[in-house]
Structure 1
């Protein structure tokens, strides 16, 4: 099979090799590009004027070409791509029109990206700083809580000891009061 190439500089025609006819690519209807081309007057091997077609297959979709006007069974295999230079000129013109604004957009976006990266770096530093502060505060709170619990335990122990001591003193006081009462009773008897 013949490959459909864009290299149509030597001659704009493609022929079948080995006697097998070239299959015309699938086409679509284009009301602006159909029928016989009166301007170029390309003739196929049958001596018939070539008809205009618009390709609808593969990477050539949308490209215009001239091909044998007879049906596929008697197709002589002549295909001439019509719009290669025009297409390249249009693409180059569009490229020249679109490129400067896109370059400006890219520059602006690169500046924004740089600013966002700097802001992101600054925010990460702030987050790291806040995390360090949070860890330090957590350590301080934990240490204070531990110290408070230790102090509370110490005070509870001292209170218990004082309660025991007070209970001992109350017992001793009661004992002394009883002794004093006994002595008083003895003194009163006399």
Structure 2
């Protein structure tokens, strides 16, 4: 490894990736009037040359046959030790001016070093260490602290993975709940549509019931009128029967009176003919009345038959309406129960969604930390 240096302060060390054990002092000299002495410590087989021993701007070129390279460690910002120093010119393997760093990695945490400043391409790593190695106890403490940090980092990574898995599971569960909610919502809409259709059917049934009630009222009116006419016919029949009985009694009384009084035969014949004519007339009237009564009886029977038919039809329709109403009530109770169940499922889904949102917020808060 080649390089150049001019250092002030505690000294300079060249090191490999292993612990430094083979140091040897090379030179003690002053550069300039007011500069402190410089101590240069190099690995074995190192060669040093100065281009001009008396110049203040001389550059120390260091080369070594050691093949060990310490990669550039993680660093932290130190305002008192960073960048390049015009008074200390150190070149890396690329022949470029090296920068000052403070290590922030492992047991080298806090040690100052000069390293390659190349940002792109191959970085030749640590050029020279400024500070000596820490004591063993300090190195062990730093190593333990960094192990604890790595364990914490690994645990946090595992927690993040578990959180991501939990978020994935919660997302899948949320999707399933959303699908169930959509399915339940569709079922509720279907039930509501069915209820509306049932409402239309009930409206039609109500209209039919009202129509039947009107027809029943009309039939009852017709039957009442027929009953009134029949009662009139019965009264007329009674009157005719009474007249017939009265005439028959009068004829008999006349015949008895004529026989008793000894009325002449001619007069009796005339009276008999007159009575026969009256009897024929009365029989004709009675026959007509009987014919009318028979017609009235037939009409009455027909009306009664029609009345019974309408009554049976009305009873059947009433039974149908009653059954439809009962079925509608049962269907309404079933729909009410299903609606309550759906409302319960919806409330459970909303609670599950709130829990999932709460879990997601917690996981998000953990991830944000």
- 2:102 maps to 1:102: no
* 1:94 CA displacement: 3.5
Between the aligned partners of 2:327 and 2:350, the Cα distance in structure 1 is 34
- 2:126 maps to 1:126: no
Between the aligned partners of 1:133 and 1:99, the Cα distance in structure 2 is 49
Aligned to 2:360: 180
Between the aligned partners of 1:82 and 1:101, the Cα distance in structure 2 is 26
* 1:91 CA displacement: 4.9
Where do 5+ consecutive residues of structure 2 fail to align? 1-252
Higher-Rg structure is 2
* 1:107 CA displacement: 1.7
Aligned to 1:37: none
Q: TM-score, normalised by structure 2?
A: 0.28
Comparing 87-96 with 166-175, which one deviates more in the overlay?
A: 87-96
SS of equivalent residue, structure 1 residue 112: helix
- 2:307 maps to 1:160: no
Aligned to 1:137: 317
Q: TM-score, normalised by structure 1?
A: 0.52
> What does the per-residue CA deviation read over 1:16-71, in whole Å, with 9 as the maximum and x for residues that have no partner?
xxxxxxxxxxxxxxxxxxxxxxxxxxxxxxxxxxxxxxxxxxx9xxx7xxxxxxxx
Between the aligned partners of 2:260 and 2:283, the Cα distance in structure 1 is 33
* 1:179 CA displacement: 0.6
1:111 aligned residue (275, 291, 316): 291
Comparing 170-179 with 101-110, which one deviates more in the overlay?
A: 101-110
Pairing 1:18-167 to 2, within 5 Å after superposition: 83-85=261-263, 89=268, 91-167=271-347
Q: Aligned pair in 2 of structure 1 residues 129, 82: CA closer, same or farther (>3 Å)? A: closer
Between the aligned partners of 2:260 and 2:324, the Cα distance in structure 1 is 88
Aligned to 2:350: 170
Between the aligned partners of 1:93 and 1:134, the Cα distance in structure 2 is 59
Pairing 1:5-16 to 2, within 5 Å after superposition: none
SS of equivalent residue, structure 1 residue 132: helix
* 1:109 CA displacement: 1.2
Q: CA RMSD in A?
A: 2.8
- What is the total number of aligned residue pairs between the two structures? 113
Between the aligned partners of 1:141 and 1:86, the Cα distance in structure 2 is 81
Higher helix share: 2
Between the aligned partners of 1:128 and 1:98, the Cα distance in structure 2 is 43
Q: Which of 1 and 2 has higher RCO (CA within 8 Å, sep 6+)?
A: 1
Where do 5+ consecutive residues of structure 1 fail to align? 1-58, 64-80
Q: Aligned pair in 2 of structure 1 residues 155, 127: CA closer, same or farther (>3 Å)? A: same
